[in-house]
Amino acid sequence: MLTKSNTKTTESSSNAMLLLITRLHFYIGLFVGPFIFIAALTGTLYVLSPQIEQAIYKEALTTQSVGENKPLAEQIAAARSHLTSDLKLFAVRPAPKQGDTSRIMFLDSSAALSGARALFIDPITLELRGNLPVYGTSGVLPLGMTIDFIHRQLLLGEVGRYYSELAASWLWIAALGGLFLWYRGGKKNKAEFAARTERLRKRRRHYQLGLCILLGLVFFSATGLTWSKWAGGNIGALRANIGWVTPSVSLDLSKTTAVTTTDEHADHRNHQTPNQQAKATTITNSDLLFDGVLKAARDAGINANKVEIKPSKGEGKAWFVREIDRSWPTQVDSVAVDANTMTVTSRADFATFPIIAKLIRWGIDAHMGVLFGVINQIVLAIFGISLCLMIVWGYRMWWLRRPAAGATSKPLLQAWGKLSSMQKTLTLLVALITGWCLPVMGASLLIFLLIDIWRWKRQ
């Protein structure tokens, strides 16, 4: 039977936990909120970029030609004839359907951000339709690529990745913390709302919208962390240890017989003058293998319209052919082809993937807005805009409620000090585990505590 003393202790610990979560939620909003806002805004722009790119780069992506497609070898040779420097061919994406162009892709250090360049060739007339930097499996073009890199690292290189990891690390904590505050503060808020003040209406809009998009916030945080540098590395190691690795093909050939091709760049090195560039139209032995490799892959069940072919990386290595249609139903099967015999030596079929690998694939594709097409894009845009509004309303709430000059507020550590021994142990354990798994979050939490200690001593 609880005594009055025990009841007061329980209420005190409960109020201390409420205050602790409140202060932590405040710190996340104040210091991490701007980074989450940028990530949400740029993510929204990215998922809306495909249609914009289709309009901007329509000439490169489409053709009005009608007829039978030329062999891939001729399309590759046509693309090389338009190069002004010697670039390494690393992949070919045949035209998916009538009216589309083929992408002949080269490694190019001068292509900003991506390091890759695609020459868009009319598969029927061999006309050059475009020459643009491209990036990733989704093949985004300059507009989408720029938005993508702003979203990922603010165009600051590796250092900029800390911003997106910081946002993803704290987003799920902010969402769950907000849920706790709504649940614990419900009765008090109901009484206060009778006053119908402007400040309370702003708070109500903030948490109501948060409840509507709660699951989405946790989902975007979790999937976003898989791309991060430190947390993503830990997630990858965990997946490897428990067997959640996505199956992939082996490109090592069992026999070491050399592929009967010549250097694929032997006929087009250092071509700078018009006369020298004419030599680049010569079809190399390696170019001739593309059509045979593609046929072997088709015969083996690679039937998606969107495929990518990558030549062998050296002696004893197979060619790689993969489906790149990540919409629904997902087509991401892949095979390794021995170009000597035109036989498939290894394969990875999505249908045979473990369920966890499938869920990870679908989760990432849904995060990028490609899984369910336009519907996926609309849903992501709604979530992104809603999150931006929540942050703006949160800052407005803080501004309206900010302490007057010289006033004091209860620090985070002061609230933690009022917890029961069990609560202190649990919160410390949770902080250590999450800080270890999510290093950027752990480091930023230490910064929060240092600021809190400074404020406490100042008061």
Q: Does some domain include residue 214?
A: yes
Domain boundary among 368, 387, 418: 368
- Helical spans, DSSP H, in 28-86: 33-47, 49-56, 58-61, 72-80
Whether residue 147 sits in one domain with residue 66: yes
Task: Look up residue 264 and give its two tokens.
Answer: 């694929």
Whether residue 44 sits in one domain with residue 165: yes
Question: How far is the CA of 20 from the CAs of 13, 17, 24, 245, 388, in angstroms?
Answer: 10, 5, 6, 38, 25
Distance CA 380, CA 365 (A): 12
Percentage, residues of the chain above pLDDT 90? 69
| pLDDT of 173 strictly over 70 | yes
Whether residue 405 sits in one domain with residue 362: no
Closest listed residue to residue 341, CA positions, set 296, 282, 400, 306: 296
> 30-49: per-residue pLDDT in tens?
999 999 999 999 999 999 99
Contact of 390 with 206, CB cutoff 8 Å:
yes
Q: For residue 329, is the peptide bond before it cis, meaning its omega torsion is within 30 degrees of 0?
A: yes
Domain count, the chain: 3
- CB neighbour list of residue 408: distance below 8 Å, 6 or more residues apart: 459
> 383-434: per-residue pLDDT in tens?
999 999 999 999 988 887 776 655 556 678 888 888 889 999 999 999 999 9
Helix (H, G, I), strand (E, B) or coil at 259: coil
In the 8-state DSSP scheme, what is residue 139? T
Helix (H, G, I), strand (E, B) or coil at 87: coil
What's the pLDDT score for residue 3? Answer: 52
> 195-214: per-residue pLDDT in tens?
455 556 667 788 889 899 99
Whether residue 94 sits in one domain with residue 144: yes
Whether residue 184 sits in one domain with residue 124: no
Average pLDDT over residues 146-152: 96
Whether residue 15 sits in one domain with residue 140: no
Helix (H, G, I), strand (E, B) or coil at 343: strand
What's the pLDDT score for residue 15? Answer: 82
Say if residue 185 is exposed, middle or buried (CB neighbours under 10 Å; 0-12, 13-18, 19+): middle
Closest listed residue to residue 148, CA positions, set 426, 369, 403, 439: 369
Walk across the sheet containing 116-121 and list its strands.
Answer: 128-133, 116-121, 102-107, 88-93, 307-310, 319-323, 334-338, 343-348
Q: Does some domain include residue 278?
A: no
With tokens 């540098």, the residue in question is 229
What's the pLDDT score for residue 116? Answer: 95
Contact of 44 with 384, CB cutoff 8 Å:
yes
Q: Does some domain include residue 459?
A: no
Whether residue 142 sits in one domain with residue 80: yes
What's the pLDDT score for residue 402? Answer: 73
Closest listed residue to residue 369, CA positions, set 308, 323, 328, 331: 328
> 267-321: per-residue pLDDT in tens?
333 333 333 333 345 788 889 999 999 999 999 999 999 999 999 998 899 999 9
Whether residue 344 sits in one domain with residue 297: yes
CA atoms within 13 A on the CB side of 373: 4
Q: Does some domain include residue 449?
A: no
What's the pLDDT score for residue 279? Answer: 39
What's the pLDDT score for residue 284? Answer: 80
| pLDDT of 221 strictly over 60 | yes
What's the pLDDT score for residue 418? Answer: 87
Query: Taken in order 130, 132, 137, 143, is the CA torsion positive or negative?
Result: negative
Domain boundary among 122, 153, 184: 153
Q: Does some domain include residue 86?
A: yes
Phi first, then psi, for residue 314 (nearest 5°) are 160, 180
With tokens 């069940």, the residue in question is 301
Task: Look up residue 111 and give its two tokens.
Answer: 């292509």
Q: Does some domain include residue 383?
A: yes
Whether residue 32 sits in one domain with residue 162: yes
What's the pLDDT score for residue 456? Answer: 77
| pLDDT of 263 strictly over 50 | no
Q: Does some domain include residue 113?
A: yes
Which range marks the domain in which residue 229 is found? 4-48+155-242+379-429
Least confident of 41-45, 55-59, 123-127, 157-161: 157-161
Confirm whether pTM is higher than 0.75: yes
- CB neighbour list of residue 103: distance below 8 Å, 6 or more residues apart: 91, 92, 93, 118, 119, 120, 121, 134, 139
Phi first, then psi, for residue 320 (nearest 5°) are -120, 125
Closest listed residue to residue 171, CA positions, set 398, 426, 448, 388: 388
Q: Does some domain include residue 439?
A: no
| Residue of 194 and 19 predicted with greater confidence | 19
- Which helix (DSSP H) or strand (DSSP E) does residue 131 occupy? strand 128-133
Distance CA 296, CA 336 (A): 10
Closest listed residue to residue 342, CA positions, set 379, 390, 298: 298
Whether residue 174 sits in one domain with residue 130: no
Closest listed residue to residue 92, CA positions, set 71, 109, 65: 71
Whether residue 232 sits in one domain with residue 159: yes
| pLDDT of 189 strictly over 70 | no
Distance CA 267, CA 277 (A): 10
What's the pLDDT score for residue 403? Answer: 67
| pLDDT of 136 strictly over 70 | yes
Whether residue 179 sits in one domain with residue 35: yes
- CATH number for position 70: 3.10.450
Contact of 203 with 178, CB cutoff 8 Å:
no
What's the pLDDT score for residue 126? Answer: 97
Distance CA 445, CA 436 (A): 11
What's the pLDDT score for residue 399? Answer: 84
